[in-house]
Structure 1
Amino acid sequence: MALSLDDIRSLFERYGSLAYSGEPVTQLEHALQSGALAEEAGASDELVAAAFLHDLGHLLNLQGETPTQRGVDDLHQYFALPFLRPVLSEGVLEPIRLHVDAKRCLCAIDATYFGQLSADSVRSLQLQGGIFSKEEAEAFLRKPYAEDALCLRKWDDRAKEKDRPTSDLDHYLGVVERMMHRHVTI
C-alpha cells in the first residue's frame, strides 16, 4: 500500500518528536534540517524530497531510542521504499536507498570522513557492513544516483544541530507533494 501525503504528515506528527538516535535533535528536526541543507545547496526538488524523507523508515519500523546500542540495524534505508515507490520517482527513492552505502563509501574514499561521524553513526556503520573496500567503493560510485546519495549522506551527517532554524513541515510536504504529482503525471 502506498503512503499518501497525509500518511507522511501523520508519521511525523505522531513520531517526529522521538529522539534521533543519541543526537541532540528529534526525528522531525533531523528531517527538516536535511531538507534545508539540500535546499541551501541548490539541490533539485527530487533530492530535497529525498533528503527530507531519507529516514522515514525509522518512523515506520520503530525500534526504540538508539537501537544501535542494542546491536540492531533497523534497515531504515529499505523500509519505506515499498510504501513510497508507487508515488515517487527513482530520483527520490534511490538516494534514500543508497544513503547508508554512501556512508560506507565516503569512509573508503575520504580519509577525513570517518573522524567526522557521530558515535551513533560509527556504531551503525559496523552494523551496516563496515567501510567499503576500494573495489566496493568503485562499484558504488558507478551506480545511478550515487553522487546524489553522497550529497544526501553529507547533509544527513550535518542535520543534527540543536535549535537550527528551518522551514516547517508543511514546506517540505509541499516539495514531496510536487514530486508525487510529477511522478503520477509522467
Structure 2
Amino acid sequence: MKPDLERLTRDNIVDFIGSIFERRGGEEYLGEPVTMGEHMLQGATIAEQNDQPEEIIVGALLHDIGHFTSEFGTFSMDDTEDRHHEDAGAEVLERFFPPVITDCCRYHVAAKRYLCATKPDYFDRLSEASVHSLNLQGGPMTSDEVAEFEKNPNLKQIIAVRYLDEAGKRAGMETPDYWHFAPMVQRMVDLHCGPAALER
C-alpha cells in the first residue's frame, strides 16, 4: 500500500521511516542473501565504520527506500521492465532532506550504469540480481549520458553510496538497527527544513 505522503511532516518523517524499517525491513531483497532492511542498514554501517560523512551514511541508509514506497511494488527476478524505485524514493525524500541525500536515492541506479560504462571492472562486482536489473534499467551509459551525469554537483556522494549499495549484501553481518541512525537522519532533516521546534 502506498503511504499517505501528505501526512508526512518534518516532525514525523524520521519516525515514519523507522516504522517502514520495522514493518517491512524483513522483506526479501531481490533474491540477495539479506533482507531489504539488512541491505540498507549494512550500507550505512559500513559507511559509519569507515568514518564517512553523515550525508553518505544517511544516503546509504535511505537509497532504496523507494522499494517500500513505490505503488508498483518491489523488483523481482521475474520482472521484464523497470519499476523506477529510485524515483519513488526520491519523491518522498526531496521534501525533507538536502538535495545530496535525495540525489543519492534518485541517481543510485544511474550510478550503476555510469560505473559500468566508465570502470569495466565494476561490472564484476554486481550480483546476479544487479545484472538483471541493469539490463532492465538501460545497461551501461552511453558517452553522452556519461558526460551529462558527470555534471551533477553531488556526483562524488552518489558514487560513494553506489559502492555501499554493492557492499551491503553480506549474509550474517551484524548492524545497529534504524534507531541508531535516527539522530543523523533527523540532523539531515533539520539541515534542510530547519529545527522542527521552530514550527511548534
| TM-score range normalised by the length of the shorter chain | over 0.9
For the Cα contact (< 8 Å) 2:58–2:184, is it kept in 1? Answer: yes
What amino acid sits opposite 1:166 in the alignment?
Answer: T
TM-score by structure 2 length?
Answer: 0.86
For the Cα contact (< 8 Å) 1:58–1:74, is it kept in 2? Answer: no
In structure 1, runs of 5+ residues without a counterpart are: none
Identify the residue that residue 85 of structure 1 maps to in structure 2: 94
Distance across 2 between alignment mates of 1:5 and 1:112: 37
Identify the residue that residue 164 of structure 1 maps to in structure 2: 173
Aligned residue pairs total 186
Show structure 1 runs of 4+ deviating over 3 A.
62-66
Superposed counterparts of 1:31-50, under 5 Å: 31-50=40-59
What amino acid sits opposite 1:56 in the alignment?
Answer: I
Structure showing greater radius of gyration is 2
Distance across 2 between alignment mates of 1:25 and 1:172: 19
Aligned with 2:156: secondary structure? helix
Distance across 2 between alignment mates of 1:104 and 1:180: 29
Superposed counterparts of 1:69-108, under 5 Å: 69-108=78-117
Shift of the alpha carbon at 1:42? 2.4
TM-score by structure 1 length?
Answer: 0.92
In structure 2, runs of 5+ residues without a counterpart are: 1-5, 196-200
Superposed counterparts of 1:5-154, under 5 Å: 5-61=14-70, 66-154=75-163
Comparing 26-35 and 134-143, the one that deviates more: 134-143
For the Cα contact (< 8 Å) 2:89–2:105, is it kept in 1? Answer: no
Shift of the alpha carbon at 1:63? 5.3
What amino acid sits opposite 1:33 in the alignment?
Answer: Q
Distance across 1 between alignment mates of 2:16 and 2:114: 32
For the Cα contact (< 8 Å) 2:103–2:154, is it kept in 1? Answer: yes
Distance across 2 between alignment mates of 1:143 and 1:29: 29
Q: Among all aligned residue pairs of Structure 1 and Structure 2, give the percentage whose two residues are the same amino acid.
A: 34
What amino acid sits opposite 2:96 in the alignment?
Answer: V
For the Cα contact (< 8 Å) 1:34–1:155, is it kept in 2? Answer: yes
Distance across 1 between alignment mates of 2:71 and 2:166: 21
